[in-house]
Structure 1
Amino acid sequence: MLNILSLFIGFLALVPAIFAFVPFLGWAYWMILPVAVLGLALGVVSSRNEGRNLNLVVILVGLARLVLGGGVI
């Protein structure tokens, strides 16, 4: 059950992350990352790995985008 909730939260964070990858929308990752961290926490507690892995990918892409954009752009 926690894995399904983690997957749901991961997809909920992934959809805006795809749109935030456009230039000048990098600031949106500051709102996306806390949601993905919440999904990661639920994924770590669950017995399966899919939700955890999805949220890790969203977090890593978001952090890379923030580093490349200087934290804002």
Structure 2
Amino acid sequence: MLNIVSILIGLFAALLALIGLIPLLGWVNWFMLPVAFVGLVIGLLSDSNGGRNFNLIVIVVGILRLMLGGGIL
């Protein structure tokens, strides 16, 4: 059950990350990262690794986008 919740939170964070990939909307990733970290923690509490791994990928994409944009753009 916690794995499904983690995946749902990860999907919401991934949607925010996709919006954050648009030029000049990179600041959305600052709101996406805490959501993905909550999904990661819930994924760590579950028995399965799917939600945890998905949230880790979303976090990495968000961090890379923030690094490319200088943290703001």
Q: Which TM-score bucket, shorter chain as reference?
A: over 0.9
After TM superposition, the runs of 4+ consecutive aligned structure 1 residues lying more than 2 A away are: none
The answer for unaligned runs of 5 or more in structure 1 is none
Q: State the 1:50 CA deviation.
A: 0.7
Aligned-residue CA RMSD in angstroms?
A: 0.6
Length-normalised TM-score, structure 2: 0.97
Structure 2 regions of 5+ residues with no counterpart?
none
Structure 1 distance, partners of 2:22, 2:49, is 29
Indicate the residue corresponding to 1:31 in structure 2.
31
Aligned-pair distance for 1:30?
0.4
TM-score after normalising by structure 1: 0.97
Q: How far apart are residue 21 of structure 1 and its match? A: 0.3
For these two proteins, the number of residue pairs brought into alignment is 73
Deviation at 1:51, TM superposition (A): 0.4
Identity %: 52
Offset, 1:16: 1.6
Q: Which amino acid aligns with 2:3?
A: N
Q: State the Cα distance separating 1:11 from its structure 2 match.
A: 0.4
